[in-house]
Amino acid sequence: MKFSFRQLEKEHALSILRWRYPSPYDYYNFNVDTIQEDLCYLLDPLNAFCAILNMHEELEGYCSFGVDGQVLGGDYRTEALDIGMGIRPDLIGQGYGKHYAQAVVRYGINQYRAQQCRVTIAEFNKRAQRVWQQVGFEQMERFVKIGTEEEFVIMLYRV
């Protein structure tokens, strides 16, 4: 599988905002009441969102590099490139996650010259945790998000 990465454009962001995941992954759905704010957030260059495109230039996912991948309450003192990733709902659960994650890690390392990469994943999302483990990430920490009872794990990859 071959992917290309491009800074997220408005048409990509609008598509992503409409994506709907089945339960329990509906946790990742954007809120219909905050579409305008979420659109501005996705398009803000400081948040470093990229479109993941297939060889036909079709949007298959998106990723972010930097603080967007962090969750309040986690320990982010170790220097690492934080990665966030979302895949189009009709493509999840088909065994392609490892290919997307590998491509995102390669792109992030090349773009940001990172020596370590880090992902923060909702604890319930065992599927995502397995994907990142297959790429070589190791769990480093478990924590509860500040102001909630939501549990998360931090996983680290050393280049």
Q: Is residue 89 within 8 Å of residue 21, measured between CB atoms?
A: yes
Provide the mean pLDDT of the chain.
Answer: 96
pLDDT score recorded for residue 128: 97
C-alpha closest to that of 35 among 56, 50, 13: 13
pLDDT score recorded for residue 108: 97
How far is it, in rounded angstroms, from Cα 50 to Cα 31? 20
How far is it, in rounded angstroms, from Cα 153 to Cα 9? 30
- First CA to last CA across the chain, in angstroms? 22
How far is it, in rounded angstroms, from Cα 125 to Cα 113? 28
Span 17-64, pLDDT tens digits? 999 999 999 999 999 999 999 999 999 999 999 999 999 999 999 999
Q: Provide the CATH number for the domain formed by 4-158 in this structure.
A: 3.40.630.30
What is the model's pTM?
0.95
pLDDT score recorded for residue 122: 97
Across 61-81, average pLDDT: 97
* Domain ranges within the chain, ordered by starting residue: 4-158
